[in-house]
Structure 1
C-alpha cells in the first residue's frame, strides 16, 4: 500500500516537472494533484512504512514524518481560513494550470493530511486517549476520501460543481483511502476496521448500514442531477423528492435491518440461556468428577503417546518421598523405569504394547513393584484401558488405574505360608516323635562301640565314630528345627555375603559329601552382597547340596558350585552329574509332598521355594536324565533388593 501511494506521488512530481497534465488530473477538466500534495504523499508513504514494525527508531522516524505532514497540511488549510498567502503553495514548483490559488492543495486535502499526520504520531502510543484520537483521525480521512470518490461519480452526470469535495483530485482521494486503510491494518483493534469487521452488535449494524449509506445517496443523487439537468423538474422540487425518497428508503431499510437484528438478538439470548444451562451442568459434572477422582483409593494416570509422558495424575503418589502430583505430571515415561523393579519392567513394557494395539473395550491387568523409598519396594496392581482416540483410529492417550496392594500381597503370602507350615508342623511333630528313639539309640551305640573295641581297631574306625557322633548331633538339631518349623517367622533380611553362606553350608554337608565320595568344584571368589536371611538361606543351600550328593553315584559324583553377577542380579548355580530328572518330575519338583525318592516326605524343596520367594528371588531347574541337574537361584543385588 505504501509503495502504491509513493509510486503515484512520484509520478505526479515528475509530471509537474515534464508537464504531463493527464497524470496530474486523471480526468479531463478535473482538479489536479498539486506538487505539495504529491510531496506530502511521499512523506506519508514513508511514514506508513516506519510504523509497521514495533521498532523504536523507526517509530521515531514515523513520528517526525507525521509532524512534517501536519505542518504542511495545516498551513495549507490555514491559508483558506485566514485568507493569507503563506508562500508555501509554489515553494517547490510553480502551478501553471490553476487560476485561483495556484499551487495550493484543496481544503479537504489539507485537512486529510493534518489528520493522517496525527494518526502517524499516535500509531505507536499505548495510552487509551491517544488510541481514540488515532481511531478518530483515520476514520475522518477514510470518510472524506470516500465522499470525494462518490462526488466524482455524481460529477459525471452534470456540468455543475457538486459540493466542496470536487476540489480534491481523484487520485488524491484514492491515495488517502489507501493510506487510511494501510495504517488501520497495522492494528485493526485501534481503527475503524475493528468497528466494521468486529463481532459485536454495533459492528454488525455498521456492516449492514454502510452499503446503504454509501450507495443510496450516490444513486439518488445521480437520478436527481440527471432529472434536474433534463429540466423535467426544477431544482427545489428535485431536492424535496431526493429528501423524501432518501428518508422513505432509509426508513424501510432501517426497519428491515432492525427486524433482522431483533431476530438475531432473540436467537443469541436463547443460545446464551442454553449455554448457561450447559455451563452449570458441566460445572456440576466437573465438580462431581473431581470429588470422585480425589476420593478414590486408586491412583489415576493418563499417559500421552504423542509426548510419551504422564499427562495427568489425580493425587500425590508418595509425598513424603517427593513423589507429588506436580512432580510426576509431565514426567517422560523413560524416567519412570528406575522406579520399577528390574524384574517387572518387561511386564510394564508388555502392558504398554498391549494397550497401543487394544480396542476401546479391552482391559489389561498386571502387578508390578515400585520403589517408593531407598531399598523399599511396594506392590501395585495396574489396570490399563484406552482413554482418548481423537480420530477414531490413532490412539492418543491411555489410562492406568493403580492401587497399592502390598498389604494384600503380604497377607495372602502369610496365609499361604501359615497353611503350608501348619501342614509341615504336623509332619514335623510326627517325625520328631518317631525320630527321638532312633537318635538316642545311635548315641548309645556310639558310646558302647567306643568302650568295647580294642585299641588296635580304634584308629581304623575312629573316623567313622566321629561321623556317627556328628550325625547324631545333626539329627538332634534337625528334630529341634522340625519342632520349631511349625512356628513360622518371616525372614529377617540384612546385607550379607552369599559366598560366606555357601561356605558355611558346605562345612555342614562335609560329612555327607565325604561318605558319598563326591568331588566339590567351587567357581567363585570374593564377596557377593545381597539382602537375605543367613540362617534360612543356609537351610536352602544345604538342602540342594544334600539332594545333589544323594543323586550321584558314590565315589563318582561331582558337584559344581558357582556364583556370578549378571546385570542387576547375583546368580548362585549348583550342578551335579547325577541321575537327573524327567520333564514331568521337574514341573512338580517344588510341590508340597512330592518326592522322587523311595523314602522321604517331599517337604524339603517346597520349603526351599518358599524361602527363595521371601528373598524376592527366583529359582530355575535344568535337568537331563542320566546327565545331571542344575539349580540356579537369582538374587537381586544389595542395591536393588527388596526390604519389606
Structure 2
C-alpha cells in the first residue's frame, strides 16, 4: 500500500470505486503494528523494547488524529510522511474509526508487559472491540451504506483497512487465546459451544435479510411498509425455527448432563463405600516418588500407634522394624520405580515397640503424562495369621513325629507278638493238650490275645499310613463301589444281603482311601445285620453347594442315639466282642479318610431302626 501511494496506483488504494482510500499514514501504522505484534514479548529484550517503541509511535499518531477531529485542530501530521492529492476532504487523514482502532491496538501492545488475569482480560476487550468495528465496516459495505447517511464513525474506512484490522486483532488473540474472543469461540464449555452456534445467526441473518430488503426496495419490487413487515415476519420465523433447534440441542445436552451427573454421583457413592470398606479392613498409605508420606488412614494410626501429624512428610522408615535387609528394600524400590506392582510381607514396628506383620501391595500411580507421581500401599494386618501359621507348621511337624512314632511302635510291636504266637504254638506241639491239661486253656488264651493284639497293631499301622504321600485323582465312585462289592462278594452272598446304589458321581478324591471307606461301611452293615429281616443296604449321593453328600444306609440292628457321637473313636466297639469280632478301628479309619478330603462324617440311627452313615467330600 505504501508503494501504491508512492507510484500513484489509485485502484489499489480503494478496492471499490468511489469508496474511501487507505491513507499513507494508515498503511505506515499497519506496518508498525505488524512489527509490534511479531516482536512484543521476544526473548531478545532489545527487539521487545523496539516493539514497545513503535507501538508508542502508533499510539501517538492515532491519538493526535482523533484530537484533530474532536477539536478541529491540525497538527500537520496527516501529510507529514506523504502528501495526499487524491482526497478532497481531510487529505491524508485516516478516518475516525481507523484512528480509534489503531489507538486500541497500540494500547494493547504497549501494555503487554502486564501479566495479571484482570489486565489481560481488559486488553483483550480492546482487541475484541477492534474486531467488532471491522465486522461492522464489512456490514456497511455489504449493505452498500457508502453515503453520508450512515454512522459517522464508519463513513471513511477503506474495505482493506477493515480486513487488516480484523487480521491484526485475530493475530493478537491467537497469542493469548485463553483471554480472547478466539478462546471464547473455540473453547470446550457450554457457553463456548452456544457462542459458536449463535454468532453466525446473530451476525449473518440481520445482514442477509437487510441486504435482501434494500435490494427489493431499491428495485421497486416491494413497498417500504410491506418490505419492513416481510422482513420482520421472516426474521421472527427463522429465529423461532433456529432457536427451537438450538434449545432442543440444549435439552438433549442437559439430559445427557443430568444422566452423567447421576452416574457420577452413583460412582462416587460406590467409590466412597469402597474407600470406607478399605479403611475399615486395611492400612492405606500414600507416598510421593521420594517415599515421603502424603496420606495415611485411620487404620494406620490405630495399628501403628502413630498419628497422622507424626508421619506426614516423613518416610515409612518410622515403622521399619530392622527385620528386612537393604537388599530387600532395594528390590522393592526397583520394582515399583519400574512401574510394576510389588506384593510381599513386611515386619513393621509400632510406636510402642511391638512388632506386627502386614501383607503389602504397593501400586504406582501415574499422572496424565504417564509419569509415576506417587505410590499407594494397601496393607493387611496378618500378625495373628503369621502366628497361627507358625503354630500350624509346628503342629504339622509334631503330627508327623507322632505318625512316625506310631508307625515305628506298631511295626516293632509285631515282632514280640509273633514271638508270643510262635511260643504258644510250640508249647502245644511239644507237650500236647492232654499233658498240659488245664494249662492248655491258658496257652490258647495267650495265643488268641496275641492274635487280637496283632490285628489291632496292624489297624493302628494302617491308620497312621492313611493319605501318606498321596495325590487326589478323578474317581468314578459307582465303578469303585462295584469293585468293593466284587471283593466282598462271598460275604454278601453268605449273608443274603442286597446292595443297591444310585446317583453316584465322579469326583476328585483319594481313590484307595475312598475304597477303604466304602469297604468298611459295607462290612459294618453286613456284620451288624438284624436277624429278624433280610439285610438291605442302599448307597447314594446328592449334590450340595460345594460338595457331594454320600450315604450308606441299612436296615440292621441300629445304634443307640447316646452312642452316635462316640462310634468313630479308635478301638471303639459298642456290641459284644465275642458275638461281633473286630478291632473297632474301621470307623476311625473312615473318619480320618473323610477329614483328609476336607469333609465331615456322621451317623443317624436308633435301636432296631437301621443305621445311616453320611459323609461329604468337597468338590475340588
Task: Normalising by structure 2, report the TM-score.
Answer: 0.49
Task: Normalising by structure 1, report the TM-score.
Answer: 0.47
